[in-house]
Structures are given as structure tokens and as C-alpha cells.
Amino acid sequence: MLRWWLAGIVGVLIILTAGCQGVEQTRVSAWLQPDTVTLVSFPLTAASQHYTFRADPIYTTQLTLARLTPGLPYKAELRDSRGSVLATIGGEQVENTILLLAPDDGLYEVAINDADRDDYGMLSLLVGSQLTLNAPPAANASATRAAVFSPPPQIAALTGALNPLPCSVRTVGSTNVNIRSGPQTTYPVVGSLLPGVTLAVIGRSSSDWFQINLDNGDKGWVSGGVTILEGGCEQLPTLNVPQTLLLNEASSANFSRTLTISNTRDELLLTTTALSSTYREFAITVLCSGSVERLHWGTPEQPAFACGQSITLPFTSDFAQQSIALALNADSPQDVAVNYTVLVSPL
């Protein structure tokens, strides 16, 4: 009989045989069905909970304990039919523990104690024969130790469902991708996303750019056209980020988009580059096609102008940005579509 204290490691392999002398058998509260994942919820309903199973008389029996909630504190003991403790499992760094028992027809018990009754989480138990779980035979365990450390597919799938990978973004090809300060190529480059590197995604813009966290604590944007999302991105929020249109005194600028029932509002941030004088005016005109009567534009608080109308906006060196909004009427039908172009010319 081998007895191990298992703490501070990721996976543990133990070959156990029956026949130990021990104390009086402890009461068992549940039966572990072969090849079926049993979930243990924390806090426990009692000071400890007990699960029993019968070993396989022909094949090696594999018992897997997998912590489905990262960092969940617990202590588990594997006991034989006499109540002797064969192995003790615990420690904050232990995520997956696999115990192998030599062929035997005896009864075994797993006693689980709650290390901290205020913690909530889940632990999974799975028992099966070496043939069913495709584990290596006990005699060859030392040569295949790394393979045994991986949890069985049943637990791996359950762990992935309960703890999905966070939403992240990576490059599509083998070249660097620019990280910009805003969701448009007109924004300055603030970094690079290297091939093979993933970064956590905060949200996306309506124009298919992804906002990410940078190492220095700032936020940046990468284009969805040259990157791909991975992980749990189903609930990724769409951020209301204005598009930026850079203005200069030498030429006109324009911006075009389409508003539909799935995107009923756009906000455009008009930004001037360095002005030669402290004051300059720009003419703003919005041209439309489609259901033009459904679109109004103007200040973000109250877009009151119709398609085809023009206004004049002043800019100074201290007041170099102004926003305009373009929005569909609230009563627009489901099939509405308005193509618009914002024209900005220096006066």
C-alpha cells in the first residue's frame, strides 16, 4: 500500500493495491457509477461527503478528481473497505488528480471535506476501468506518466463548458497586425499584435474592429479583417464608438456608410489636424440614397437635419473636435436602408 500527500503539483499518478489494515469503515453517502461524471457542489451539505465504488477485478481502475472551479480549496481521502487512508489529495495548486488502482474486486471510498465552507464551486469525480478510459496499464505507468495526467474526455468537455476560454484575438497570417488607438485606420498606431500572440478582447465596434487591453493598461483596437476571434466570444458587447474623420485645410474629406434596422445610429467625430490659424470653419453636408426621409443628422443630442442639408461648424486650435450623429427614425420598418455620405469641406 502506498500513501502519498498530493499537494503543489498539477497531476498525480499513484498505483495502489488493496489489503491495508485500518480503522472502522466510514459511512458512505453516494455510489459512483462507472464511466459517469459525478459533480460535487461546494459548500458541502455536511462536514464531509463520501462516495463509494468497486474496483475492476481484471483491468486497472482509474479514479479522476478534477477541480472545475479554479482555486477551489478541498481535501479528499481515498480509503479502502476497512477505512484505511490510501491517499490524501489537496492543495491549492492541484487541478487534476488521477489515481490508478491495481486489479481488485474490493470496495473503495472517496471522502471529501470542505476546506473553506464559504467557497462556492464544483469538483468532478469519474471512475472507470483502464480499458474504458484508455489509460495505460499500471505496469507501464512510469513510461507514460504524462499521458495519464490529462483528464478523461468526459471531464475535459465538462471543464470547458463550465470555464470557457476568455474571448481573445490573434492574427490571421504570419505578419504583424497594427494596434491603433481607435477603430479605424486613420487612428495612430500604438503597438503591434505579433503572430502566435493572443490578447483579451473587451468588445467590438459596429465596423468590426476589436478593442483589446494592452500590457501598459491602455486600450487599443485591431481590425477584424486581419484577425480572428477565439474562445467565449458569443456575448462580446458592441461598443458605441464614434468613427473619426480627419479634417485638414487643404482638401475635403468624406465618410460613407449604410444605416439599417440592425444599425440605426452612427456617430462621427470630426477632428482637425494642426490649423494654420486659431479659427477655421468647415461646411458639413450629408447626401443620402434609399429611404432618405428616414434619416436625420446633427448634434448627438438632437439630430434634426435632413439628408441634403448643410451646416457650418467652427474649429479652433483649442476646440479641434466636434461630433455629429446620423440616426434612423424610431418608427422605421424592418427593411429600411439608407446609404449616406458625409462631405466636409474647408471654407
What number of other Cβ atoms are within 10 A of residue 223's Cβ? 18
Closest CA to 123 of 76, 165, 65, 164: 65
Question: How confident is residue 48, by pLDDT bands cut at 50, 70 and 90?
Answer: confident
Would 168-230 and 243-346 be classified into the same CATH topology? no
> Which three three-digit cell numbers place residue 213?
487591453
Mean of the per-residue pLDDT values for the chain? 77
**Which tens digits make up the pLDDT trace of 180-193?**
877 877 677 888 88
Residue 92 has what pLDDT? 62
Residue 295 has what pLDDT? 93
**233: helix, strand or coil:** coil
Residue 152 has what pLDDT? 60
**Which tens digits make up the pLDDT trace of 132-152?**
444 444 433 333 333 334 556
Cα–Cα dist 20/38, whole Å: 27
The topology under which CATH files domain 5-162 is Jelly Rolls (2.60.120)
Residue 245 has what pLDDT? 84
N-term to C-term CA, the chain: 91
Residue 165 has what pLDDT? 64
Question: How confident is residue 7, by pLDDT bands cut at 50, 70 and 90?
Answer: very low
The CATH superfamily label for domain 168-230 reads: SH3 Domains (2.30.30.40)
The CATH number assigned to the domain with range 243-346 reads 2.60.120
Residue 203 contacts residue 237 (beta carbons within 8 Å): yes
- In terms of phi and psi (left: phi > 0; alpha: psi -120 to 50; beta: otherwise), the region of 86 is alpha
Burial (CB < 10 A; 0-12, 13-18, 19+), residue 27, is exposed
DSSP letter (8 states) at residue 158: H
**Which tens digits make up the pLDDT trace of 223-266?**
888 888 877 777 778 777 777 888 888 888 898 889 988 888 88
Question: How confident is residue 285, by pLDDT bands cut at 50, 70 and 90?
Answer: very high
Cα–Cα dist 138/140, whole Å: 5
Domain ranges (residues) in the chain: 5-162, 168-230, 243-346
Cα–Cα dist 343/311, whole Å: 11
